Structure 1
Amino acid sequence: MGKYLNKGQIFDAESGEDLYANEEQLQSRLDFFEKQIQAQTADTPAEKKIKNLLEIGRIQIERYKGSDAWKKAFSAFDIARDNELWELAVEACDVMFLSEGPDALKALGHALWLGVTFPINPELTVVMLQYLVEESPKEADTCAIAAATANYITSMRCGADDDLTFFASQMMASVAGEHSHVTNQSAFDLWRKTLQLDKPKVFLKKLSGAIDQLVADDWWVDRDKIKAKLDAEGK
């Protein structure tokens, strides 16, 4: 664990140093990645094109230039979608969400749908679910549904002793405390059963409803086409 959850939301840390501490450093990195983009050709791999755009987007967030960050991230999303690079598509949604643009929650909705639908890095999916918890009122069932989904995702994609599994269980316990003042195991078990958070088919359907509200019927992906392809592949 660390690529997403321990990056100060945006960047990996190296040796505890803040690599982007001042504008001069930010501008230097910005220049570097803009030159990378200028040097791209038709043969440049889509993954590299996406990563260059996302690096610029993240830098612009640090520079409080959310509008530019959004544009770069949306361009990255388009390339990722067209090439079915779904984990990178979620990373692009992450940058769009952090840019705090007018459609930031719509981007979060896409990130959640893709992050649950595809077996991408579970840590990235958990971060998106954590955003949903943070964006929802503490007493809202959406918080509980998001936490339960994070717990479910880690149980399916990680080992029982994995750090991310522990993180997700702690998130669920924290949400239970804030949602219903749960303070002990028996109360937690009752809370979980009452809200049917022990039934994936139930809470995943509710999560789908929450995602639909975020996206507001303005989908940037063809969900029916994606579902049909996954069904054909037996996934």
Structure 2
Amino acid sequence: MSENTPDPYAYMAELPDGLSETEKAEFGQQLIEKKLQLERSSGADTLERARLKLDIAELLVLLERKEEAWNLAREAFDTALKNESWQDAVEACNVLYQTEQAASIPALGMGVWLAVTFPVTPELTYAMLDHVVTETPNNSDGAALAAVTTRYVIDLRANDEEHGDWSLLADNLIARVAERHSKVQDQKALDAWMDKLGLRDPQVFLPRLSQVVNAIVGDAWWFDRDELRDKLPD
């Protein structure tokens, strides 16, 4: 991977098993500073305040104050959606997922829908779809649909400089899912597996991914999808 390629795992770093006292103090100091910035900022529903709330929520997750983190990230999501800032809305869903609250899984599903539907960065879209892989049983087709969609999004959105590295990451994810799903070990078996599951045609796999997202979110949608589709760029 080139030095300039963003790390796809930056949005989904695993939390340490336990923070040291030094780390707790450092994160606590950052939390104080971010809260002061939030107090000084003006405007009830500005993106500046939403992004500060997300920064604070991420620190609260690290400090295991996850209910507080949920509340702030949820407010940030509403502001981002109101301002049609799809990237910020998906980042909020990513934080909401990591808070491990009752509605965190539906939040993941909504974040995936937004990330695939709108021109969100490949890095964040990869992170959201990788969460779906993590949450999906090994023998379910849902992980395969999520993995192949990462490659589809990268082909659409990654610039020429980054495309090769991103494609490799996506292909590795597809291979990992294929191995756990059907014990796929080589390219011939991978090709057959992709053909069998209909993973080559976006007109086939995207509607199926939509069904997976519907199952994840259920009746908990926070927005009208048809209304948001009308806001898609031409």
Shared fold per TM-score greater than 0.5: yes
2:117 is aligned to 117
2:6 is aligned to 2
Residue of 157, 164, 167 corresponding to 2:166: 164
Could you tell me which amino acid in structure 2 is paired with residue 33 of structure 1?
A: K
Residue of 155, 168, 175 corresponding to 1:173: 175
> Following TM superposition, by how much is the alpha carbon of 1:219 offset from its aligned partner in structure 2, in angstroms?
1.3
Partner of 1:22, secondary structure, is helix
**Mapped partners of 2:123, 2:93: distance in 1:** 15
1:141 is aligned to 141
**Mapped partners of 1:209, 1:69: distance in 2:** 29
1:78 is aligned to 78
1:24 is aligned to 25
Distance 1:45 1:219, change over 3 A: closer
Residues 76-110 of structure 1: CA deviation (Å, up to 9, x unaligned)? 00100000001000000000000111111011011
2:59 is aligned to 59
1:89 is aligned to 89
Residues 138-186 of structure 1: CA deviation (Å, up to 9, x unaligned)? 1110011111111111112124843111100110011111111111111
- Structure 1 length as normaliser, TM-score? 0.89
**Mapped partners of 2:131, 2:138: distance in 1:** 13
1:142, 1:207 within 8 Å by CA — same for their partners in 2? yes
Q: Which has the higher contact order (CA 8 A, sep 6+)?
A: 2
- Structure 2 length as normaliser, TM-score? 0.90
Distance 1:113 1:161, change over 3 A: closer
Aligned positions of 1:136-215 closer than 5 A? 136-158=136-158, 159=160, 161-215=163-217
Aligned-CA RMSD value: 2.2
Residues 46-84 of structure 1: CA deviation (Å, up to 9, x unaligned)? 221111101110011011111011001001001000000
1:36, 1:52 within 8 Å by CA — same for their partners in 2? yes
2:112, 2:129 within 8 Å by CA — same for their partners in 1? yes
2:11, 2:94 within 8 Å by CA — same for their partners in 1? no
**Mapped partners of 2:89, 2:146: distance in 1:** 20
Aligned residues between the structures: 225
2:154, 2:163 within 8 Å by CA — same for their partners in 1? no
Which segments of 5 or more consecutive residues in structure 1 lack a partner in the other structure? 12-17
Distance 1:205 1:7, change over 3 A: closer
Residues 117-147 of structure 1: CA deviation (Å, up to 9, x unaligned)? 0111111001100000010111110011111
Distance 1:3 1:56, change over 3 A: farther
